[in-house]
Amino acid sequence: MDLVFNLLPASMPHWARVGLSGVTCAVILITFMALGPILYVYVETKVAGFMQDRIGPKRVGPHGMLQTIADAIKLMFKEAIYPAGADKKLFILAPCLVVLGAFLSFVVLPFGSRLQTVDLNVGLFYVVAVSSISTVGLIMAGWASNNKYALFGAMRAAAQIVSYEIPAVMSLLAVVMIVGSLSLQDIVRAQAGGLSHWFLFRYFPLMPVAFAIFFTAGLAECNRTPFDIPEAESELVAGFHTEYSGFFFAMFFLAEYTEMFVVSAIASVLFLGGWMAPLPVLQAIPLGDFAIGLGPLWLIAKAWSLVFVMMWLRWTLPRLRVDQLMYVAWKVLLPISMTLVVAIGGLVLWHPTANGFPWDRWVGWPLTALLFAYLTYMIVAARRWSGRRTREMAA
CA gap 322, 343 in Å, rounded: 31
pLDDT for position 126:
92
Give me the phi and psi of 290, to 5 degrees please: -115, 170
Bridge partners, 285 (sequence order): 292
pLDDT for position 6:
57
Residues in the chain, total:
395
Bridge partners, 291 (sequence order): 286
pLDDT for position 47:
82
pLDDT for position 208:
93
Coil, helix or strand at residue 58: coil
Which of 274, 257, 273, 364 has its CA nearest to residue 308?
257
pLDDT for position 66:
86
Helix, strand, coil share (%) of the chain residues, nearest 5 = 70, 0, 25
Give the pairing of strands 284-287 and 290-293.
antiparallel
Decide if 360 contacts 204 (C-beta within 8 A). yes
* pLDDT < 50 regions, the chain: none
Q: Is the dihedral of CA 46, 48, 52, 56 positive or negative?
A: negative
CA gap 120, 1 in Å, rounded: 12
Which of 152, 156, 131, 133 has its CA nearest to residue 143?
152
Q: Give residue 236's identity as a one-letter amino acid code.
A: L
Beta strands in 188-339 (DSSP E): 284-287, 290-293
Per-residue pLDDT tens for 53-105? 777 788 888 888 888 888 888 888 888 888 888 888 898 899 989 888 888 88
CA gap 261, 103 in Å, rounded: 11
CA gap 9, 272 in Å, rounded: 37
Give me the phi and psi of 287, to 5 degrees please: -135, 85
Per-residue pLDDT tens for 337-349? 999 999 999 999 9
CA gap 88, 146 in Å, rounded: 10
CA gap 100, 188 in Å, rounded: 25
pLDDT for position 210:
94
pLDDT for position 58:
82
pLDDT for position 240:
82
Note the Cα 214 to chain centre separation in Å.
Answer: 11
Q: Give residue 69's identity as a one-letter amino acid code.
A: I
Cα separation values, 270 from 12, 69, 82, 214, 259, Å: 38, 33, 42, 10, 16
